[in-house]
Amino acid sequence: MNTRMRTIFRTLILFLIFLSIANLISMKNWVETDQEDFNIEPYNLKQAGFWNNLTFIHITNLNWTIANETDWCSGSGTWGDPYLIENMIINASDSPIGYGILIENSINVYFKIKNITIFEATDGIKLENTNNGAIIGNTLSDNVGSGIKMINCDNNTLLENNLINNGLCGINLTSYCYNNRILENIAKNEGTNLQDTGIHLRSYCNNNDILGNIIYDNNVYGINIEDDCEENLIYNNTIKNIATNQQDYGIRLHNDCHQSTISSNIIEDLNSDGIYMVTSDQNSVIDNQIIDCGTGMWMLLNLQTTITGNIISGGSTGVLFSACDGGDIIDNFINETVNYAIKIIINCDNNEFYDNIIKDNVNYGVQIDSSSDNNNEFYKNSFISNGIHAYDNGTATFWNTSVIGNYWDDYAGEDSNNDHIGDTPYNISGAANANDSLPIYDHGAPTITINTPTSGNYEADAPTFNIFINDPFIYSMWYTINNSGIKYYFTGNGTINEDAWDLLTDGNLVINFYARDIAWNIGSNSVDIIKGTSESPGEGPNDGPPALDLIPIITISVIAISAIILAGILIRKKSNKEKIQKSKILNKEQLAQAQYLKDVRNILIIIAIHKESGLALSKIALHGGIGLDENLFTGFISAMGSFKNELAKQMGLRVRDEGGDNVIEYNEFTITIMDGEYLRLGLVSHSSLGTSIKQQCGQILRNYELKHVDNLKNFDGEIQVFKDFEEIVKSEVIDNLNNKSYKN
C-alpha cells in the first residue's frame, strides 16, 4: 500500500471513530428523533403549486388520464406512482354535482387525495364503487352531509383527516364497504350542534379497521355501526365530550353487527352510553377505559359477548344487561357508580362473571332484577365498599363454584382451618334467598419474600428478580425504583425493566416490590442495591476486569469492518496492478457476521402480535426503542392485516418481498413483518435487515409457536402466558450476537 493510500486509510479510520463517538453520545436522543420521523407520511406541500379556484372534481375510471393532463393531477395510477391530487381549496357551494370531489367506478388504479380543504358541499369527498384510494391529511368542514362518504368501496385508507362541523357524519361508509382502514382522523364539532356522528358504518360494511381516531363533541354518536356490519376492529380510539357536552353515545353496534372487536378505546364524559350493543352477537369488548358516562356499557339482546379487562368508573351504571345470554364478564374493574356496578334486568341466562373488582359503588354492586334471569354464575369477584354488595331476585344464580366463591369485605365469619375459605355462607339479599357458600376469607395484606436481587453491586445490565408472595388471591403486582412513583407491573418473576435501569445513575438505589390481593390490601418489601458499571454482585472495587458495554463493542466492530471494506474499495480503484492480500478481504461468513452485528445494533423494537386479534402479546425494546408506542405499531400492523402490502402502497411506502416476509421502508426506518400460522413478528429497525438476523427471528417465531400452539390457537385475550417472549428474544438474539462477536 503506498503512502497516499495509507494516509487515506488513517484519515478514514479517524473520521469514522469520530462519528461513532458522536453517535454514542446522541444515542439517548434516538427515541425523540425516531418518534418525530415515525409518521406514516409527512404532509410536505408540493412546490409545484397550490390551487384555490376549483369548485369540484369529478373522476371516473375512464377519465383519470384526462385529469392527469391538468396541472393539479400527477402520477400514473400504479401502486408505486399513484395518481395524486393535492394542495387545493375547494369551495363547493356552486358545485354542479353537489360534491367537492367525486370519484366513481375507479377499480383498478391507485390514487391519493392529499392536503385538500373542502367546504359547503353535499359531501366533501365521495367515493362510489371505488377501490385502492388513499385520502390523507385533508380538512373537510361545514358540508351538508358527510366529510367523507364511501359507497361499495374496497381497500381504501382514510388517514389523518380533519372532519369538522359536517351536517351528518365525519366519515360515512355504507353498503358493502370492505377492508378499508380509518386511521388517526379527527372528527368533531366546534361549538355547534351539527355533526351527528364521528364515524358511521352501515349495511354490510365488513372487515374494516377503525384505529387511533379522536372523536369528540359530536351531536349523537362517536362511532355508530349498524345493520349487518361484521368483523370490524375498533381499536385505540378516543371518544369524549370536551366543550359542548352534547355527545350521547361512544361506540354503538346495532342490528346484527356480529364478531367485532372493541379494544383499548378511551371513552369519557358522555351523556348516555359508553358502549351500546343491540342484537349483535359474539363481540369482544377488551381493555377499554370508560369514565363518567351515563352507563358504561348497555348490552341488549346479545349472545356470547366477551367483556374483559375494562375499567369503568363513575356514571350511573357500570354494565347493564337485558336479554343477554352466554356472556363472559371477566377481570373488569367497576367503581364509583351512583346506582349499579352491574345490573341484570330480564331474560339474562347462563352468563359467567369472575375475577371482577366491584368497588366503591354508591348503591349496588350487583343487582339481578327478575326471576326470568336464570343460571348466572359469580365467582372470584371482589366486592369492596359498596352500598349493598349484591341483590338477587333471579332464579338459580350460582354465587360460587364447587371450590370457591367471592370476596365480600363485610363477611363476618371465620376461617378455622386457614384454607382461605370462610366456614359459614355469606347471605345475599333479595327474593332468591341466595348465598355464597364458599366465600373467600382474607387473612390480611400479602407478605413478600425477596429471594433476588440481594443487597450488593450490580453491573450495567438490569438484575433479575425472584420473589415469593404468600397470598393465593393476588390481583396485581408491581415494583418501583428509588420511590419514583412509576409502577412497573409484572405477572411473574423476571428482570427489572432494562430501559428504566439504563436511565439510572450509578450508586445506591432501592427497589420496592408490591402486591395487591383480592381484598385490596397491599403488601410490600424492598431491597437496597448498588448499580455500578465495573463490578459484579459481592465483588470489591478491584476484584475483576471492567464489565464490557455491548453497544460500544458493536459500534467499534462495525466501524472497523466498514473501514477495512471502504479502504479496500479505494485501493482497488487506485490501481488494478496492486495486489491485495486475502487476509485483508472479508470472506462471505465474516460479512454475514458483520451484517448481524449491524442488524442487532439497528433494531429498535420487536413485537409479537396475535395475528387474528391484532393484539400485542409482548414487546422487547432494544437500544432506542423504548419510546416507540406499541399500540400505534400494532394498530398499524393490524390495519394492514392480509392487505398490508396494498396498504403500504396506498400510503406511498416502498414494498418488496424478501424471503417470505414483508419489508416496508420509510425514510430512515424499515419495518419487517414475519408471519407464522398464529403469530406475527414486527421488527422496526434503522435500516434493512440481513439474512442472518431474519433467519434467527424466523426460527424464534417457529419455536415460539410450537411452544405456545394451544394458547395461540385458542387465544382468549389473556397475554400473561406470553411473558417469556422477551427473555427468549434476549437469549436467542443477544447471546447469538455475543457468539458472533467473538468468533474467530
Separation CA 603–CA 414 (nearest Å): 56
What 3 state SS string does 199-215 have? EEEECCCCCCEEECCEE
Separation CA 515–CA 539 (nearest Å): 32
CATH architecture of the domain with residue range 448-531:
Sandwich (2.60)
Predicted pLDDT of residue 287: 96
According to DSSP, residue 564 is labeled H
Reported as half-sphere exposure (CB side, CA atoms, 13 A), residue 419 has a value of: 10
Separation CA 373–CA 653 (nearest Å): 54
Q: Residue 263 — φ and ψ, nearest 5°?
A: -140, 140
Element (H, E) at 319: strand 317-322
3-class secondary structure, 631: helix
Identify the burial level of 601 via C-beta atoms within 10 angstroms of its C-beta, where 0-12 means exposed, 13-18 middle and 19 or more buried: buried
Predicted pLDDT of residue 633: 66
Among 211, 200, 151, 198, residue whose Cα is nearest residue 176:
151
Topology alike, domains 448-531 and 602-742: no
| Dihedral angle of Cα 677, 603, 236, 635, to the nearest 10 degrees | -40
The sign of the torsion formed by the CA atoms of 565, 566, 567, 569 equals: positive
Q: Residue 247 — φ and ψ, nearest 5°?
A: -75, 130
Separation CA 150–CA 345 (nearest Å): 39
581 and 572 Cβ atoms separated by less than 8 Å: no
Predicted pLDDT of residue 581: 34
Largest CA distance in the chain: 102
Q: Which three three-digit cell numbers place residue 8?
A: 487515506
CA 223 to chain centre: 19
According to DSSP, residue 455 is labeled S
According to DSSP, residue 92 is labeled G
Predicted pLDDT of residue 534: 47
Among 369, 281, 268, 359, residue whose Cα is nearest residue 320:
369
| Sequential DSSP letters for 678-723 | SEEEEEEESS---HHHHHHHHHHHHHHHHHTHHHHHT--S--GGGT
- Length of the chain in residues, anyone? 744
Separation CA 217–CA 196 (nearest Å): 9
Predicted pLDDT of residue 727: 78
Amino acid (one-letter) located at 612: E
3-class secondary structure, 300: strand
Q: Give the pLDDT means over successive 10-residue stretches in the chain (744 positions).
A: 41 40 36 31 37 83 84 91 93 93 95 95 96 96 96 97 95 97 95 87 97 94 97 96 86 97 96 96 97 96 97 97 97 97 97 97 97 97 98 97 97 95 97 97 94 86 92 93 91 91 90 95 95 53 42 45 43 38 41 62 78 79 56 63 47 42 65 83 77 79 82 81 80 53 32
414 and 437 Cβ atoms separated by less than 8 Å: no
Phi-psi region of 293 (alpha: psi -120 to 50; beta: other; left: phi over 0): beta
Q: Residue 729 — φ and ψ, nearest 5°?
A: -65, -45
Among 108, 123, 113, residue whose Cα is nearest residue 86:
113
The sign of the torsion formed by the CA atoms of 329, 471, 337, 239 equals: negative
The sign of the torsion formed by the CA atoms of 185, 188, 194, 198 equals: positive
Among 144, 145, 93, 84, residue whose Cα is nearest residue 116:
84
Identify the burial level of 334 via C-beta atoms within 10 angstroms of its C-beta, where 0-12 means exposed, 13-18 middle and 19 or more buried: buried
323 and 346 Cβ atoms separated by less than 8 Å: yes
Angle at CA of residue 283, ends 280 and 289, nearest 5°: 115
Q: Which three three-digit cell numbers place residue 134?
A: 388513499
Angle at CA of residue 648, ends 647 and 649, nearest 5°: 90
Predicted pLDDT of residue 448: 96
Query: β-strands 488-490, 474-481: how paired?
Result: antiparallel
Q: Which three three-digit cell numbers place residue 246?
A: 352534547
Domain boundaries, the chain: 1-37+548-585, 296-416, 448-531, 602-742
| Segments of 582-629 assigned E as strands | 603-610, 616-621
Kindly report the pTM of this predicted structure: 0.67
Overall fold of domain 602-742: Beta-Lactamase (3.30.450)
